[in-house]
Amino acid sequence: MQTLLMHLNTNNDMFKLNLTIALRNLWKNKTSSMINVSGLAIGLASCMLLLLYVSYEWSFNKQTKDDKNVYQVMINFDGPAGSISGTGTSTPNTIAPALKETYPAVKAASRIGDADTRLIANGRNSFKKIGRFADADILKIFDYTFIAGDEATALNAPNNIVVTASTAKLLFGTTDVLNRSVRFEDRVNLKITGVIRDLPDNTSIKLDYLMPWTLFENLYEWTKRPMWTNNNWTTLVRLNPDANAEMLNASIKGMIKKHVADATSSPMIFPFSRVHLYGTFTEGKSTGGEIEQLRLFMGLAIGILLIACINFMNMATAKSEKRAKEVGIKKTIGATRASLISQFLIESLVLTLCSAVMAIVLVEVFLPLFNNLLGIKMNIVYANPYLWMSLIGIVLFTGVVAGSYPAFYLSSFNPLQVLRKRRSGRGMWSVSLRQVLVVVQFTFAVILIISTTVIYRQIQYLKNIPLGYDVNQLVELPQDGQLEAKFELLKERLMKSGAIQGICQLSGSMADYNSNFWGMEWPGSTETDRHMVFSQLATTYDFAKTTGLKLVEGRDFSRQFSSDTSAMMLSVSAVKVMNLVHPIGKIVKYQGDLRRVVGVFQDFIWGAPYRKQDPMVVAFRKEGTGYVTLRLNPANTPSANLAVVERIVKDINPAYPVEFKFVDELYGQKLKSQKILGLLSNIFGGLAIFISCLGLFGLAAYSAEQRTKEIGVRKVLGASVANLMQLLSLGFLKMVVLAIVIAIPVANYMMNSWLKKFDFHTGISWMIIVMAAIGTIAIALLTVSYQAYKAAKANPVDALKYE
């Protein structure tokens, strides 16, 4: 027992000594330690940030308990000949009640209204926040955490309202607001029956307050009617745990057609947790979505960590040659292999641990900035065991991998070999391994440079695609409250004020594809033409004048022609697909009414800018409008214009705050996911290159140090500084060139397949590749030559003095 204790004690002492020596070594080689530790820290931090983002996106809609049983109802639209032309997330108001009534597998089903911001007020304290209407079942679908109130009854009466904690604080300054009264949309008073904890940022069903569906039906009489083909709302269901979704899908397929004989849509349930990442559908089947981009980020995260690990390993192996002597001595005084292995491993683990600590600090510092750039709210949850597990895993992995070469290889040396002056032939294997690693590292870096450039150019290209209308100075606001009824008054006062040049009503935003239809008939149309899908926008007067849309033929809707209230305009591509030679004056059957074509306009970008635009119909329809679009007067500053507009709008519609949106900003948001890709690949691509160069810098320093004697001898023999620099840099350059040669086809292939996803895209020009190659070589050369120059300038006497 005693000997065992003693044994443990000495082991412990040995560990302590090894640890002190490891720290001492760290301190002694400050530069290389800094390179080592900070390089790895930057790599770890980048990896952590990216993985944080990946996990943020990954856990989208997965916060609910048993999220596997939550499904969203999707609507598949029939295409020609039994195909499915598209899949949408908007559903009729009849699906949820019918599902719950008919199918025992459905435990709960709720209609959920859209995420518009709506007015909520406590006295004069009024805000526009996201308010949603939903059936009471929503509380069975999601497990919202009730701070106050009864979950079972909170949405049972039409005049109830459930608010989030931050909404309660905003309105009342406290969360203790149960049974207090708030005024909604300046129309009804509602009683707060529940306060729930704020929802996480990464959910599709965002809301600040929640109201019963019955209230919605009371406020908007028309929504009471069961409408099987009016797709307007979201429907979510929770199935029983033992339910079979496939079977349910098969049995609900004909549901809509059963009620409406000529309906062309069929419902389908799809896992709610997959909607965000796998939301691209073809033929009613999920074929990917954001997940592809997420995989790219995961690859980037692993790649950066790999680059940093390679640095670390390279430095460790380079250094280890110097330490062979130490191994020899220790062996002659009785060190076993095991003790040497543990010593080297401890050393590299100490380094990785330092890096991990530094990485956490870096992540904490840069997270707000990162969040800001991406427009999301992520934070590190330190209580999350997975975080620690993965962090410890990464540290252990990196430490062991990086330390394993010196640990296992060096400890096997015969002491004589290393003590006899100098080790002859410094392990061919180690040198070539290091070269391989450097090549891998730079291959990755070059791929990143090329990809980043291509992505940047593609985004620029998309930005510069002609929009078809004048997006600048164009502002839109929702036609809330009194604005619809008093539109003429609004128009008159705004025009008179001189703040605007034009104003029109629209059914939806100019910046966002929001409606389509099929089943149009025109002179010469066939039965299959009926399946042609058109996008649609409804408006009143001055559409082209306000938006700056180009008319190719005919005219805009005008007051001078009273028949224009039943007229329509077509886009150039619509005229083309409809095969109309003289479109003006043609009578077209649209939504069951006959309409006369009065104008043809140039296609404009309404949907995704990288997709071909659908043919489009713009119809005159006053009832369908929901947006007011204004063209500001460029003679004044936008802020002066907006101030005038705000005053007038507020005057006409006092109950509502005025919310402007610049259409160019809205349009910019369409490229959000491409921009995120561009942004992240820029930042992390740059970091990857930086870390690679850091590694190269360290390696160059070591190689110069190792060859001090050789350099000394060569100098004595008459080599010039240039000769020596060439000697020292060439080896590294060869590796970088090899990396470039490998990287170019890989990057080319990857980027070509990325670009194929866009209908409109740039190509990968040779210029990009040449620039990337030259850039990489230049950076590498700069990195290496500093060390080479330093070594070459050194006095040969210093190098030759010893031994």
Partner 1 sequence: MIKLQNIEKYYAAKGLKSYILRHVSTTINQGEFVSIMGPSGAGKSTLLNILGMLEEPTYGTYEFMGEDVTSLNERKRIELYRNHIGFVFQAYHLIDEMTVAENIEAPLLYKKIGSAERRSRVADMLDRFNIVGKKDLFPNQLSGGQQQLVGIARALAAQPSIILADEPTGNLQSAQALQIMDLFKKLNEEENITVIQVTHSEVNAGYGSRILHLLDGVIKEDVNLSESLKP
Q: Which is nearer to partner 1, 332 or 673 (CB)?
A: 332
In sequence order, what are the residues at sequence separation of 6 or more whose Cβ sits closer than 8 angstroms to the Cβ of residue 653? 480, 481, 482, 483, 486
Query: Contacting partner 1 (CB under 8 A), which of 21, 105, 577, 800?
Result: 21
CB of 325 to partner 1, least distance (A): 7
Query: Contacting partner 1 (CB under 8 A), which of 10, 251, 558, 637?
Result: 10
Q: Is 34 in the site for partner 1 (CB under 8 A)?
A: no
Q: Is 19 in the site for partner 1 (CB under 8 A)?
A: no
Q: Is 705 in the site for partner 1 (CB under 8 A)?
A: no
CB of 333 to partner 1, least distance (A): 4
CB of 28 to partner 1, least distance (A): 7
Quote the CA–CA distance of 103 and 245 in Å, as a whole number.
Answer: 11
Q: Which stretch binds partner 1 (CB under 8 A): 19-27, 114-122, 238-246, 479-487?
A: 19-27
Q: Is 422 in the site for partner 1 (CB under 8 A)?
A: no
Q: Could you tell me which of 124, 114, 123 has the C-alpha nearest to residue 211?
A: 114
Q: Which is nearer to partner 1, 263 or 419 (CB)?
A: 419
Q: Which is nearer to partner 1, 343 or 516 (CB)?
A: 343
Q: Is 28 in the site for partner 1 (CB under 8 A)?
A: yes
Q: What is the size of the binding site for partner 1 (CB under 8 A)?
A: 29
DSSP 8-state code for residue 427: -
How far CA 153 is from CA of 70, 107, 140, 168, 764, in Å, comes to: 21, 17, 11, 19, 60
CB of 312 to partner 1, least distance (A): 20
- Residues of span 428-447 touching partner 1 by CB under 8 A: none
Q: Find the Cα–Cα–Cα–Cα dihedral 372, 378, 382, 386, rounded to 10°.
A: -130
CB of 35 to partner 1, least distance (A): 19
Q: Is 267 in the site for partner 1 (CB under 8 A)?
A: no
CA angle 115–121–122, rounded 5-degree value: 140
Matching residue, tokens 């995120």: 676
Q: Is 423 in the site for partner 1 (CB under 8 A)?
A: no
Query: Contacting partner 1 (CB under 8 A), which of 200, 415, 626, 686?
Result: 415
CB of 329 to partner 1, least distance (A): 5
Mode of pairing for the β-strands spanning 125-134 and 209-212: parallel
Quote the CA–CA distance of 791 and 770 in Å, as a whole number.
Answer: 31
Matching residue, tokens 């904890």: 197
* Two structure tokens written together for 314: 């390279």
Query: Contacting partner 1 (CB under 8 A), which of 34, 329, 635, 721?
Result: 329
Q: Is 31 in the site for partner 1 (CB under 8 A)?
A: no
In sequence order, what are the residues at sequence separation of 6 or more whose Cβ sits closer than 8 angstroms to the Cβ of residue 626? 478, 479, 506, 507, 508
Query: Contacting partner 1 (CB under 8 A), which of 416, 640, 730, 774?
Result: 416
User: What is the full DSSP assignment across 90-101?
Assistant: -B-TTHHHHHHH
Q: Which amino acid is at 49?
A: L
Query: Contacting partner 1 (CB under 8 A), which of 330, 531, 550, 596?
Result: 330
CB of 798 to partner 1, least distance (A): 15
CB of 316 to partner 1, least distance (A): 15
For residue 631, give the 3-state DSSP assignment: strand
Query: Contacting partner 1 (CB under 8 A), which of 104, 241, 334, 385?
Result: 334
Q: Which stretch binds partner 1 (CB under 8 A): 109-117, 333-341, 531-539, 604-612?
A: 333-341
In sequence order, what are the residues at sequence separation of 6 or more whose Cβ sits closer than 8 angstroms to the Cβ of residue 100? 106, 108, 109, 137, 237
Matching residue, tokens 């009617």: 225
Q: Is 328 in the site for partner 1 (CB under 8 A)?
A: yes
Q: Which is nearer to partner 1, 29 or 566 (CB)?
A: 29
CA angle 717–723–724, rounded 5-degree value: 80
Query: Contacting partner 1 (CB under 8 A), which of 62, 274, 337, 423?
Result: 337
Q: Which is nearer to partner 1, 11 or 102 (CB)?
A: 11
Q: Is 333 in the site for partner 1 (CB under 8 A)?
A: yes
Alpha-carbon dihedral sign for residues 326, 328, 332, 336: positive
Q: Which stretch binds partner 1 (CB under 8 A): 12-20, 296-304, 311-319, 497-505?
A: 12-20
Matching residue, tokens 């005159």: 620
For residues 255 and 240, is the Cβ–Cβ distance under 8 A? no
Query: Contacting partner 1 (CB under 8 A), which of 326, 529, 646, 705?
Result: 326
Mode of pairing for the β-strands spanning 533-539 and 516-518: antiparallel
Please classify residue 180 by burial: count the beta carbons closer than 10 Å to its beta carbon, then call 0-12 exposed, 13-18 middle and 19+ buried. Answer: middle
Mode of pairing for the β-strands spanning 281-282 and 285-286: antiparallel
Q: Is 1 in the site for partner 1 (CB under 8 A)?
A: no
Q: Which is nearer to partner 1, 336 or 384 (CB)?
A: 336
Q: Could you tell me which of 58, 382, 377 has the C-alpha nearest to residue 206?
A: 377
Q: Which stretch binds partner 1 (CB under 8 A): 235-243, 329-337, 532-540, 576-584?
A: 329-337
User: What is the full DSSP assignment across 359-398?
Assistant: HHHHHHHHHHHHHHHHT------TT-HHHHHHHHHHHHHH
Q: Could you tell me which of 684, 701, 782, 683 has the C-alpha nearest to residue 34?
A: 701
- Residues of span 395-414 touching partner 1 by CB under 8 A: 414
Query: Contacting partner 1 (CB under 8 A), which of 183, 274, 325, 661?
Result: 325
Q: Is 336 in the site for partner 1 (CB under 8 A)?
A: yes
Q: Which is nearer to partner 1, 9 or 244 (CB)?
A: 9
Q: Which stretch binds partner 1 (CB under 8 A): 182-190, 309-317, 322-330, 625-633?
A: 322-330
Query: Contacting partner 1 (CB under 8 A), which of 7, 206, 496, 576?
Result: 7
CB of 713 to partner 1, least distance (A): 21
Quote the CA–CA distance of 178 and 657 in Å, as a whole number.
Answer: 26
Q: Is 659 in the site for partner 1 (CB under 8 A)?
A: no
Quote the CA–CA distance of 584 and 604 in Å, as a whole number.
Answer: 20
Q: Which is nearer to partner 1, 418 or 751 (CB)?
A: 418
For residue 625, give the 3-state DSSP assignment: coil
Q: Is 14 in the site for partner 1 (CB under 8 A)?
A: yes
Q: Which stretch binds partner 1 (CB under 8 A): 22-30, 202-210, 288-296, 487-495?
A: 22-30
Q: Which is nearer to partner 1, 5 or 581 (CB)?
A: 5
**Sites of contact with partner 1 (CB under 8 A):** 6-7, 9-11, 13-14, 17, 21, 24-25, 28, 325-326, 328-337, 339, 414-416, 419
